[in-house]
Structure 1
Amino acid sequence: MPTDNTKEPTTVGKTCFYQGENSTHPLFRIEPGIPCQDAREQASELMGYVRDLIITGLMDGDQKLIWASHYLSAMAKALLDDAELGMMKK
């Protein structure tokens, strides 16, 4: 039975998002151990939703959708940042 000695890079769990008031208390953190490719795919999916929410929010004048897109984009950025840290880890 062949064995694969290469280990797929995973998130490191160091990236926080939505820092709360005055950016002093991180409320959320990316979990360690998520395969980086999966994290990047999910970030791409989130950014697609962000795009749709922004367009709808602007066209309908709905600020709640704009704020929702703001939070989702922060989540997507955190996923990408933590995946990058995982891919740079040796």
Structure 2
Amino acid sequence: MTKTNPSATSELKTIGFTPFTYCSDQPLFHVSAGVPILDALTQASALLFLAKSFAEDAAYAKDTDRHAWAAHYLTAMSKAVIDDVVKVLTPRPTRTKDESEV
């Protein structure tokens, strides 16, 4: 793992390439571009906390599945945020001059 410059990391923002919740094979929602990654990860953590709470409720509430569905959507949103941040933090291979011209 490479070390990152904390001040440079704090300036990184989401790129908005990651969709979630599909309808008819088309993404209904996606992560918004331009959100500072620290804010995005903080939000993902809050969503996962709520999803965990709903999943626990779903384990005990046998009369309905609404808690399970809430947990499902919250985890899908959280995963999309984390995946988008990973795309920002993962270095892309350097393109050669020939590849740039194509």
SS of residue matched to 1:49: helix
Identity of aligned residues (%): 32
SS of residue matched to 1:33: coil
Unaligned runs of 5+ in 1: none
Equivalent AA in structure 1 for residue 16 of structure 2:
G
RMSD: 1.8
The answer on whether the counterparts of 1:36 and 1:87 sit within 8 Å (CA) in structure 2 is no
- Larger strand percent: 2
Between the aligned partners of 2:47 and 2:85, the Cα distance in structure 1 is 15
Residue 58 of structure 1, CA deviation: 1.4
Q: Does 1:64 align with 2:66?
A: yes
| Greater relative contact order structure (CA < 8 Å, 6+ sep) | 1
Equivalent AA in structure 2 for residue 25 of structure 1:
Q
Residue 87 of structure 1, CA deviation: 2.3
Runs of 4+ residues deviating >3 angstroms = none
Give TM-score, length-normalised by structure 2.
0.74
User: What do residues 26-62 of structure 1 show as CA deviations (whole Å, max 9, x unaligned)?
Assistant: 0001110000111111111100000000111110123
Unaligned runs of 5+ in 2: 1-6, 93-102
Cross-structure match for 2:15:
12
Give TM-score, length-normalised by structure 1.
0.84
